Structure 1
Amino acid sequence: MARAWKTWLSRTAFLAVAAVALANAGCLIAAVGAAAGGAAAVSYAYYTAPLMREYPVNYADALAAVKTSLTELQFPLIKEQPDGASTLIETRTGDGLSVKIFLDVLTSPVPADGSLTRISVRVGHFGDDAVSARIQDQVAKHMPAPPPPAPSPGPVVANRPGGGRPVETVAPPLANPVVPAKRP
């Protein structure tokens, strides 16, 4: 029993000395920094994975375009989860990767444009740009044409009494001409 106790004590002491040596040498900070950098890289890759596009159509037209596109590309519709002004659609690629399509209604910064619908496609955890772009291109083919812009009002003309020609001002007086002095 005494021998097991000594072995445990010596191992614990060795680990404590090793931890102190790492901390004093700066390796512990480097190891923590490397772990944090790796976590940041993974988070960035996950965040940038979805391919997003905004379409100037209403939500119902965008949802119909997505469903039609998935049918044409032979993606099975696994799950459709509406949530107010957004919807999550899940499907799978031919090789089994998960595909998540998010539809979100946005308000346009220009009131005349009406509402916008953002469609985000994420393939797998870190994205497959080729498959995402293929789905987005197919969806774009089924989007209805945006409505024509509202006609602009005609030019506004000031000082038009009675609807006739604009009132013109009187010509300004001209300066007296300079007469050259006569030489003797």
Structure 2
Amino acid sequence: MSGKMLQGGRWALIALGCAAVAMPLSGCVALLGAGAGGGAVAYVENGGIANYYAYYPVSLQQASAASQAALQQMGIAYNGNIRKTSNVELMEGTTRDGETVKITFTSMSTQVTKVNVRVGTFGDKAISLQFQKTLSQHLGMAASAVAPASTAPGEAAAPPAQAQQQTIPLQ
């Protein structure tokens, strides 16, 4: 009986090891909405890397300029930006702790921009949410976790909230 217990224990360890290896590959999606009119930010975790994004009813250029001001207000050094395509721009900064801040702007239409932020390798919730809040203040408007219906034809709006998503305030 002792041999069977050892063999069963090995299988349990193998199963546990397989689960631990597969877990980071699964990814999860959760929506962070806002209460009390503060706006909303969506949170996406894919393979353990967290990104926080929101939609703003402004042009890509307006979102980019306001983001530079938001970085400065937060004490994050602005390192520069690059225009990847006609509707995608990347911006980078560095926190006082040396963490890299990567911001991706995607123009959904002439007056809707998706702003995605990731701090460090795996994401920093507090800094990311503070950035989106500061950006909302500089733009003078609340963020939205869902793309407005007014995106350009052919541009799909974000899918509706699903069962695995949850709402958390941006405050």
What's the TM-score, normalizing by structure 1? 0.54
Q: What does 1:1-184 correspond to in 2, within 5 Å?
A: 26=11, 30=15, 31-40=17-26, 43-46=46-49, 49-84=50-85, 85-107=87-109, 115-143=111-139
**Structure 2: gaps (5+ residues):** 1-6, 28-44, 143-171
Higher normalized strand content (fraction of residues): 2
Determine if contact 1:61/1:144 at 8 Å carries over to the other structure: no
Deviation digits for residues 105-146 of structure 1 (CA, Å, limit 9, x no counterpart): 113xxxxxx631011111112211111111111111121569
Q: Please state whether the residue corresponding to 2:107 is helix, strand or coil.
A: strand
Identity of aligned residues (%): 29
Following the alignment from structure 1 to structure 2, what is the Cα–Cα distance between the partners of residues 38 and 59?
Answer: 33
The number of residue pairs the alignment matches comes to 117
Divergent runs of 4+, >3 A: 25-29, 31-34, 38-44
Largest Rg, 1 or 2: 1
What's the TM-score, normalizing by structure 2? 0.57
Q: Please state whether the residue corresponding to 1:125 is helix, strand or coil.
A: coil
Following the alignment from structure 1 to structure 2, what is the Cα–Cα distance between the partners of residues 145 and 43?
Answer: 28
Amino acid of the residue matched to residue 65 of structure 2? Answer: A
Following the alignment from structure 1 to structure 2, what is the Cα–Cα distance between the partners of residues 130 and 89?
Answer: 19
Q: Please state whether the residue corresponding to 1:139 is helix, strand or coil.
A: helix
Q: Which residue of 2 aligns with 1:151?
A: none
Structure with more contact order per residue of length (Cα contacts < 8 Å, sep ≥ 6)? 2
Higher normalized helix content (fraction of residues): 1
